[in-house]
Amino acid sequence: MFKLNNYGTRKLVLDVCKNRLYSASAAVAPKTKAKQEPKRENESFMANIFRGSLVTKQVFPYPDVLSDEQKETVGGMLDPFQRFFTDVNNPARNDENSVIDPETLKALWELGGMGIQVPSEYGGLGMNNTQYARLCQIVGAHDLGLGITLGAHQSIGFKGILLYGTPEQKQKYLPKVASEETYAAFALTEPSSGSDANSIRCRAVKSADGTHFILNGSKIWISNGGLANVLTVFAQTEQVDKKTGEKKDKVTAFIVERGFGGVTSGPPEKKMGIKASNTTEVYFEDVKIPIENVLGEEGQGFKVAVNILNNGRFGMGATLSGTMKKCIEIATNHANNRVQFGQKIKNFGTIQDKLAQMSILQYATESMAFMISQNMDSESQDYHLETAISKIYSSECAWHVCDEAIQILGGMGFMKEPGLERVMRDLRIFRIFEGTNEVLRLFVALSGIQFAGNHLKELQRAFRNPASNLGFIFREASKRASSSVGLGGTDLSSFVVPELKEYAKNAAVCIDLFGRTTEAVLMKYNKNIINEQLVLNHLANAAIDIYAMIATLSRSSRAAQLNLPTAEHELNLTKALALQASERVIQHLKKASSGQLQTEKKMITAIATKIFDEEGVHSTGPIELN
Amino acid sequence: MARVLVGVKRVIDYAVKVRVKPEKNGVVTQGVKHSMNPFDEIAVEEAVKLKEKKLAGEIVAVSVGPTQSQEVIRTALAMGADRGIHVEVPAAEYELLQPVHVSKILAKLALEEKADLVILGKQAIDDDANQTAQMTAAVLDWPQATFCNKVEKTDAGLTIVREIDGGLETIKTKTPAVLSADLRLNTPRYATLPNIMKAKKKPLKKVTPKDLGVDTTPRIEIISVEDPPVRQAGAVVADVDALVAKLKEGGHV
């Protein structure tokens, strides 16, 4: 599920924005659009609120995709899977030794934990995303380091073969990686190519007879790099444009076996956390790759990489919701027993507040993760904004929750024994890899704006010739009046249980303001919006909190409707979140469109420029002794 | 030997903190994690071991209870049992089902299935009755070997080491026989995830006590279920004299 790596979301978004959103050549009148093949409506709730419309299919009611049989199957696996982590695996030892011992790994293979989503005809368990997510929670609760080994293998290592493999490739590789103790890895990142994945330098040259490629180059920070015998590798290849005959470098994905020769790996990297996982450099020297090992189409490797990552990212939210649950359990246990000032510390308001906040964040993270996994399982194509939000949210909430758990344990939390310090170190990477949270915030804001911008353009064009586009304009007008921004008409009350109506209003107000703000900043900055990172960050932060409110409103409404024994508690978590999050959203949105932000930005630019010039702090010491 | 019948009961998981229902007529089971009775896991493991040693040909796992009992049959199938029989008893009726009923059901099935060996857990961790194996042997009029610590095949039948107070007892028995598994008989394996998938394809037959001609009319009535008394707060005494005085005061010495 994770890789020690980022990818070029920013590049992607910027490229897309430059080419599509703001170029005049992209102008397609609504009228001509109808003649093309019918355009599929974007079903993403989040994308749509950027343009002020409410598309609730993915979020209300809370999805429930598992059949009774699927539920029973994964239900029966929870115990044995859990037992592996409590009886066989030892996370502290893995961390201490910076390696997982062979017996534990063997047990993990025997358990069947390495091919969870591989179809059963290839020797895997054939779990869908939601079933996988449930198992991920167990991994997250026990050992994130081992989770990386597991995730680098199946969430990204061989995911490309699952998504893009030919029947022959699947037949050849999937049985091995699902159950025959062959590790897989995903090799994209290079020393000069982190967030900007299109800039990789590994190169594969096709032989004159077209039967194979020769690959040269090196990769860094490859999880399972020292273990893997099957690697998904991305390299530049020369592609000839069929129309113009122009030669251009484009990324192609390959399935590379270590056995091809010329594949070597460096020593395991020494890391802050997730030490149990193996992270190495991987070198390719004249590696001969048969042509049938091209994964996907030649020149389409960047798309392959992005889709593998997008597809795997949902697992992180689920995993970290498990981690948070465990942190809360440890902290609760301590607070229930620790006596200070003559009473249990659980009686103190501060401790109560901390644990309540931690639970709210856990609930929201979990609600998002399973909303997304279930959307994906119902064949939704539009989950990229949501998975990015879930990645950002879960990695930051888990960090905060673990930090607070340590704080509740006090000095004890700082010691190795309760295990929280290891979790804290393990968690740090989650805000960095699989797309840094910074890049993903821009991705969220810019993809949303791009979507809204396209839509606005369409509307503007329609107004230029209202007579021939009346139908379009009327449809749009009625949409906006009933359920859209600009007019403040968002109403979520029909989607939630009566107890939550008032709180759904908080979310509705945010959604209205969100659409208005997006429109306002788009008008204000036009295409320069891509350079306004501070504005974009505020928009992204608002989007993230809105999604948290929606996911919890939806899930707890379901809990209440089903009369679950925990329904009342879940309603409380939701209400508290709605109050807190809506306040934050309004703050962010006001800031995004305020003049003050520009004043601030001037100062920030000035300060930063000075720091860069001076290569560090540039103030005279308080006692003038620098 | 050809066929082993193992009993598997679905009970509230050992790690769950059991709560009494407010009406005091039972414990809360809704939304509570259940799993296979740990002693039954040991029984299944022993049967699977016998099969691996080619001493058993087929393992049939039986569970008596509501629909959810099929979960533990699936677990047994994932551990290595070949097929399952679910004797369905509706949840309401199940609350008053006793070893006297279950043993008749198991005995009937043992005969129907032509079992050579019945292996049961020595007791279930919910009602702690420790009666079913003994009663089953009685109904069948077969020899019984309870609290097994070790089971070995010998020419005449089985040589069995039993756990008894303060030591071990070795006995021999002919088959068919009824065994009950004690804690140290073996360490049950975990069902691996691929085996859980395979277990879904193994046959699971459903019958009712009526089909088997067993009368499950309740023999008991639950008057009241109470929480164990809460431990009283202790007190620190100054010295031995004070301690002795306190003990005398409480009538303990």
pLDDT band with cut points at 50, 70 and 90 for residue A465: low
pLDDT in tens, A172-207: 999 999 999 999 999 999 998 888 888 999 999 999
Tell me A85's DSSP state: I
Give the residue with greater pLDDT, A315 vs B235: A315
- For B144, the enclosing helix (H) or strand (E) is strand B144-153
Question: In this predicted structure, which of A285-299, A332-346, A450-464, B10-24 has the lowest mean pLDDT?
Answer: A450-464
Q: A268 and A352 share a domain?
A: no
Domain annotation covers residue A347: yes
Q: Of the candidates A376, A405, A435, which is a domain's last residue?
A: A435
Q: What is the DSSP string of A187-226?
A: E--BTTBSS-GGG---EEEE-TTSSEEEEEEEEEEEETTT
Q: Tell how far CA A500 is from the center of its chain.
A: 28
Cβ–Cβ gap B193/A111 under 8 Å: yes
Q: A279 and A333 share a domain?
A: no
Which domain, by its residues, includes A365? 313-435
The pLDDT of residue A485 is above 60: no
Domain annotation covers residue A255: yes
Q: Report the first-to-last Cα separation within chain B, whole angstroms.
A: 58
Q: A372 and A290 share a domain?
A: no
pLDDT in tens, B178-187: 999 999 999 9
Contacts of A124 (CB under 8 A, 6+ apart): A112, A115, A116, A117, A118, A174, A178, A179
Q: What is the DSSP string of A19-80?
A: IIIS-GGG---HHHHHHSSPPPPP--HHHHHHTTB---TTTSSPP----HHHHHHHHHHHHH
Q: What is the DSSP string of A434-468?
A: SS-HHHHHHHHHHHHHHHHHHHHHHHHHHHHSGGG
The pLDDT of residue A486 is above 50: no
pLDDT band with cut points at 50, 70 and 90 for residue A159: very high
Query: Can you tell me the mean pLDDT for A32-38?
Result: 49
Domain annotation covers residue A604: no
Compute the 3-state secondary structure of chain A and give helix, strand, coil in percent, each to the nearest 5: 65, 10, 25
pLDDT band with cut points at 50, 70 and 90 for residue A101: very high
Q: What is the DSSP string of A159-190?
A: HHHHHH--HHHHHHHHHHHHHSS--EEEE--B
Q: Tell which residue, A461, A39, A96, A35, has the closest CA to residue A276.
A: A96
Contacts of B101 (CB under 8 A, 6+ apart): B64, B209, B214, B215, B216
Cβ–Cβ gap A76/B192 under 8 Å: no
Domain annotation covers residue A429: yes
Q: Is A118's Cβ below 8 Å from some Cβ in B?
A: no
Residue reference for tokens 């893997």:
A228
φ/ψ of B217, rounded to 5, equals -55, 135
Mean pLDDT, chain B, whole residue set: 94
Report cis status (omega within 30 of 0) of the bond before B66.
Answer: no
Point out which residues pair with B62 in neighbouring strands. Answer: B7, B85
Q: Is A565's Cβ below 8 Å from some Cβ in B?
A: yes
Q: A296 and A239 share a domain?
A: yes
Share above pLDDT 90 across residues of chain A, in percent, rounded to a whole number: 80
How many helical (H) and strand (E) elements, i.e. helices and strands, does chain A have? 22, 10
The confidence score (pLDDT) of residue A17 equals 36
Q: Just give the CATH number of B3-249.
A: 3.40.50.620
Q: A199 and A305 share a domain?
A: yes
Q: Are A589 and A517 in contact (CB under 8 A)?
A: yes
Residues of A tagged active-site: 434
pLDDT in tens, B61-75: 999 999 999 999 999
Rounded to an integer, what distance in angstroms lies between the CA atom of residue A96 and that of residue A578? 41
Its sign, for the CA torsion A49, A50, A52, A55, is: negative
pLDDT band with cut points at 50, 70 and 90 for residue B122: very high
Q: A189 and A305 share a domain?
A: yes
Contacts of A592 (CB under 8 A, 6+ apart): A517, A521, A535, A538, A539, A542
Cα→Cα distances A533→A52, A537, A617, Å: 22, 6, 23
Count of all residues that appear for chain A in the document: 626
* Nearest residue on chain B to A112, alpha-carbon basis: B193
Q: Are A221 and A193 in contact (CB under 8 A)?
A: no
φ/ψ of B171, rounded to 5, equals -135, 165
Give the residue with greater pLDDT, A460 vs B27: B27
Rounded to an integer, what distance in angstroms lies between the CA atom of residue A281 and that of residue A271? 13
Contacts of A116 in chain B (CB under 8 A): 193
Rounded to an integer, what distance in angstroms lies between the CA atom of residue B109 and that of residue A178? 40
CATH code assigned at A236: 2.40.110.10
Rounded to an integer, what distance in angstroms lies between the CA atom of residue B67 and that of residue B76? 16
Other Cβ atoms within 10 Å of A163 Cβ, number: 14
Tell me A113's DSSP state: T
Domain annotation covers residue A527: no
Rounded to an integer, what distance in angstroms lies between the CA atom of residue A317 and that of residue A366? 7
Q: Tell which residue, A365, A308, A307, A254, has the closest CA to residue A1.
A: A308
Q: Tell which residue, B16, B43, B9, has the closest CA to residue B31.
A: B16
Domain annotation covers residue A375: yes
Q: A254 and A303 share a domain?
A: yes
Return the half-sphere exposure (C-beta side, CA atoms, 13 A cut-off) of residue B109: 33
Query: Can you tell me the mean pLDDT for A589-609?
Result: 94
Query: Can you tell me the mean pLDDT for B8-18?
Result: 94
Rounded to an integer, what distance in angstroms lies between the CA atom of residue A590 and that of residue A513? 9
Mean pLDDT, chain A, whole residue set: 90
Interface with B, mutate which of A67, A68, A77, A569 (most B CBs under 10 A): A77
Cβ–Cβ gap B196/A81 under 8 Å: no
The pLDDT of residue A2 is above 70: no
pLDDT band with cut points at 50, 70 and 90 for residue A35: very low
The confidence score (pLDDT) of residue B253 equals 80
Q: Tell how far CA A387 is from the center of its chain.
A: 4
Q: A347 and A368 share a domain?
A: yes
The confidence score (pLDDT) of residue A65 equals 97
Q: A280 and A389 share a domain?
A: no
Domain annotation covers residue A608: no
Number of domains into which chain A is organized: 2
Cβ–Cβ gap A112/B194 under 8 Å: yes
pLDDT band with cut points at 50, 70 and 90 for residue A488: low
- Select from B30, B194, B196 the Cβ nearest to the Cβ of A76: B196
**Can you give the residue ranges of every domain in chain B?**
3-249
The pLDDT of residue A20 is above 70: no
Q: Are A195 and A10 in contact (CB under 8 A)?
A: yes
The confidence score (pLDDT) of residue A241 equals 86
* Nearest residue on chain A to B192, alpha-carbon basis: A111
ipTM field: 0.78
Q: A289 and A327 share a domain?
A: no
pLDDT band with cut points at 50, 70 and 90 for residue A315: very high
Q: A305 and A317 share a domain?
A: no
The confidence score (pLDDT) of residue B148 equals 98
The pLDDT of residue A249 is above 80: yes
Q: Of the candidates A252, A285, A309, which is a domain's last residue?
A: A309
Contacts of A83 in chain B (CB under 8 A): 190
The confidence score (pLDDT) of residue A21 equals 31
Query: Can you tell me the mean pLDDT for A532-540?
Result: 96
Rounded to an integer, what distance in angstroms lies between the CA atom of residue A230 and that of residue A368? 32
Rounded to an integer, what distance in angstroms lies between the CA atom of residue B238 and that of residue B236? 7
Contacts of A566 in chain B (CB under 8 A): 31
Q: Of the candidates A379, A404, A435, which is a domain's last residue?
A: A435
Query: Can you tell me the mean pLDDT for B24-46?
Result: 94
Rounded to an integer, what distance in angstroms lies between the CA atom of residue A5 and that of residue A280? 12
3-class SS of residue A371 = helix
Q: A303 and A394 share a domain?
A: no
Query: Can you tell me the mean pLDDT for A421-439?
Result: 95
The confidence score (pLDDT) of residue A464 equals 67
CATH code assigned at A371: 1.20.140.10
Other Cβ atoms within 10 Å of A416 Cβ, number: 11
- pTM here is 0.87
Rounded to an integer, what distance in angstroms lies between the CA atom of residue A335 and that of residue A127? 38
Domain annotation covers residue A209: yes
- Select from A83, A116, A125 the Cβ nearest to the Cβ of B190: A83
Instruction: Identify the burial level of B110 via C-beta atoms within 10 angstroms of its C-beta, where 0-12 means exposed, 13-18 middle and 19 or more buried.
Output: buried
Tokens representing residue A576 in the block? 């508290």
The confidence score (pLDDT) of residue A482 equals 40
Question: In this predicted structure, which of A416-425, A577-586, B151-160 has the lowest mean pLDDT?
Answer: B151-160
The confidence score (pLDDT) of residue B38 equals 97
Shortest distance, CA A339 to any CA of chain B (angstroms): 16
- For A237, the enclosing helix (H) or strand (E) is strand A230-240
The pLDDT of residue A483 is above 60: no
Other Cβ atoms within 10 Å of A417 Cβ, number: 9
The confidence score (pLDDT) of residue B2 equals 76
Point out which residues pair with A212 in neighbouring strands. Answer: A290
Contacts of B75 in chain A (CB under 8 A): 76, 79
